[in-house]
Amino acid sequence: MKLFKGLLKEIKLIDPTITADKKTELEITISLIIKQLFQQPLAYRVLEVGCDQGTLSYFIAKLLAIFDKENQLLCLTNKMINAPGSQWLAKVSLLSNSANLSLLTTSYDISWFDQPVYDLIIINGNVGFSHSDRVLKSCLAALKKGGSLICLPANDSFLAESFSLVFSKIKTYRITKNLKVLTTTPVEQDYQLILANDPQVKLVKAKKLLCKTVAYIENNLANDSDESLKESIERLIQTEQAINAAQNAFKLPEIKNQVNKLKEILVDCYVGNYQIHQEIQACYVQTFQDLKQIIAVSPEFN
């Protein structure tokens, strides 16, 4: 209890600008890690996926060193956060012993390890991931049987929803505010296969792609350059493919029809190599507004 209280006092010192919600989230995470370390204090390996400002990295590394100096933390990021002047480097530099901490800069969209070697993996959704499902797959591939997965999806609703949908089918897990926790045990099921083929996960992916495509088109309605047309077409095709992949889980054919109609208008313009004339622009805008209206009244999106 003294250890926990002492660390809580440090939070404001390490991150003076931390919000109340983020502070609560961090406190919960620290308490969960302490419980894990009491069960296995030695030779414990932790992977943090998605380093941002260094606050979480600091407290994980400090906890590991308190229990055993041989415990290891690998921080994985897709940015150069160890450059001079970075907040991450400034915070981890405050550690009295950072020998157990290492950094890997790589893509979030690839599998990082061939073998399950980590006792605990923490996914920091605060950084935002382009493909949350790929991150989950890679984490499961790297997690030991009997290990634990902690997910902080504060700014990534797709990550949170995917986590809930997939793991509710595999193993019970505890949910606290803004925090999803799963403790794995040896099972026969193929996690990655479930993640890839679950229709509800495909539905979530289709919804996310649709929302991103709608946002892009809305920001580029007046832009009829070849580059903008091509990007809009590619996004609409990807969205249409995701909707088709979701099959029966996606119960809104009106949305699929509007997406296809938008795509056909833009393809005609792009292939014909002419600008979107006034009457075509009006049809395109109206089709887009119809799509937004369908989404707005759909219970699947509210």
- pLDDT tens readout for residues 17-39: 888 777 777 887 887 788 778 77
Q: What pTM does this model have? A: 0.62
Quote the domain boundaries for residue 204. Answer: 199-301
Q: Which residues of 16-38 are buried (b: 16+ CB within 10 A; e: fewer)?
A: eebeeebeebbebbbebbbebbe
Same domain, 133 and 225: no
Helices 157-167, 132-142: inter-axial angle, 10-degree rounding: 50
Max avg pLDDT among 68-77, 103-112, 138-147, 175-184: 68-77
Same domain, 129 and 187: yes
Q: In what order do the strands lie in the sheet with 72-77?
A: 101-105, 72-77, 45-49, 118-124, 143-152, 179-183, 173-176
When divided into structural domains, the chain yields a total of: 2
Same domain, 94 and 154: yes
Distance CA(263)–CA(240), nearest Å, equals 9
pLDDT of the residue at 178: 45
Contact present, 15 and 46 (Cβ < 8 Å): no
Same domain, 162 and 224: no
Same domain, 187 and 294: no
Max avg pLDDT among 34-43, 52-61, 97-106: 52-61
Same domain, 263 and 186: no
pLDDT in tens, 253-269: 788 888 888 888 887 77
Identify the CATH number of the domain in which residue 74 sits: 3.40.50.150
* Residue that wins the pLDDT comparison between 46 and 198: 46
Residue 131 above 50 pLDDT? yes
Domain boundary among 179, 197, 215: 197
Same domain, 293 and 254: yes
Domain boundary among 197, 214, 241: 197
Going by DSSP bridges, is the β-strand pair 179-183/173-176 parallel, antiparallel, or unpaired? antiparallel
What confidence tier does 45 reach under pLDDT thresholds 50, 70, 90? very high
Contact present, 124 and 60 (Cβ < 8 Å): no
Same domain, 58 and 152: yes
Q: What is the mean pLDDT of residues 226-241?
A: 83
pLDDT of the residue at 48: 94
Same domain, 265 and 123: no
Distance CA(161)–CA(125), nearest Å, equals 12
Same domain, 147 and 208: no
Same domain, 189 and 207: no
Same domain, 147 and 285: no
Domain boundary among 197, 220, 246: 197
pLDDT in tens, 158-189: 777 777 666 665 544 444 444 545 444 433 33
Residue 300 above 90 pLDDT? no
Handedness of CA 133, 134, 135, 140 (dihedral sign): positive
